[in-house]
Structure 1
């Protein structure tokens, strides 16, 4: 039996069917990400698990217990939101101790847990500061510490990093992952950012219009998208119909095909060995994307994107001729 089970979960808001018979299992100790665009149902499912929303149908089982109708305070679930939701009139230490005091724990136990949590989120020396004196990143670390200080059965994280700048976001991704491993937590993370999901997750569940479109580990989700939506949402795939694929490759295809931009080989000279399909095109555009340069290439009246490492000495100019090659195993049938 899985540690967390969602069985036939439905959720309606009026006539709006937000969750459509969700069946999902989460194993103890896993870092699981619910990924998808805004409005797909991922945060609603998280809130149902926390007890902040009531399901319209189905069961939620946690550690062998049906918690579908249980009060949020009795579920032993920690939650970290996008909004920090800290008490402004309490110091860091007081914010962390608040829930522990409600549980009437001994003072020395509260002191130890608060101290340990502060160390884990690297806020030593900030214990007596008020939230208004902390940066956004520091406040989010306090919110994370407040989630783990209660030693919950499950830690839920609802887009906690979306309001933080890119550099700090990467640092907090690492911190969250390390804390998850150190404490042996079962963590459920919600995000719309596919890169974030790839970096942090053991398992990804991709949501679309209230259903789970695809589930798997990051490598499988990225390399083997099951549908056009999955291919379009993860990995910036070229998605071509059978007509375009025939024009590109000269071969008949039975349906849509997804091709990752980095699997197309590009050269200034004709490619005569290796890949199954070879073609010639012209560079229409180029866009720097960090350490990758993305080219738009037109070949046989079909436009495709090609990703290469950014090397200024070997860049193609718009209008240049380019030769490309593609292996059949990199053509993912959808």
Structure 2
């Protein structure tokens, strides 16, 4: 059970060894509580509960601190128990999903709550990080098209150095860490430095952002496979031929900058010029927008709409299935007329 309470100015007692309780102390301090701490059971005295509304025992033993538990009952003070922080530094790669906090997994939220340091990307949900990771040091290492605020090598160095200092480090990434997220490189950097590392998968934008526009990447009788492609760099002629010959749905991430080359390559490789295409911008945001056209017309349509990153490109017959959803039935009716459907 999770409860939300305003602890601003309220007295809270945290009981536990200093290193083990440091994250609990940081979290309640960030919530505005007035903290008292006691590090050993034999140092506890009932007067520490005077004026307190909550006592938090940080212990691996559910039966630990029995005198404190008894005193809480006598004073009418709520008692909570939390597991101690693991010793030593470690790194957790967390997939933040397509950018909305609603799609953060339970595991992602738990990792953020326990973080001492969070290194976050611009496409990860970061607006309320001070609440999601209370008291943690928040470091913006976001990358924008054509501009890397912090180089990948420096991100890995910051991550490793923070963990070596004994911190619980969360590397918060948009989407899933292992879907064009360079998560494998960051795991390798931790392993090379002898830092324990774990991965919390995230909801990939390759599936979720088309879904936000009402476009399924597969659909019975329409598409039984989908291919996810990075559009960060232009594809080769052989890759265009391969994509055009696969059938199904093609989902392109980071592809706005290379859109003209991609479309030209697919047309040279034989993909139908009337193939439906959609560009979904800023998925799950208040300004989400979908531009629908055909393979022959999408470059012109995207230019007229001034499409910008972040955006997902969806190529395939599944685009027609978004009628009545965010893409808009009117635009899809125009598309049907354009392709002679």
Q: TM-score, normalised by structure 2?
A: 0.29
Max radius of gyration: which structure?
2
TM-score (norm 1): 0.29
The structure with more strand, counted as a fraction of residues: 1
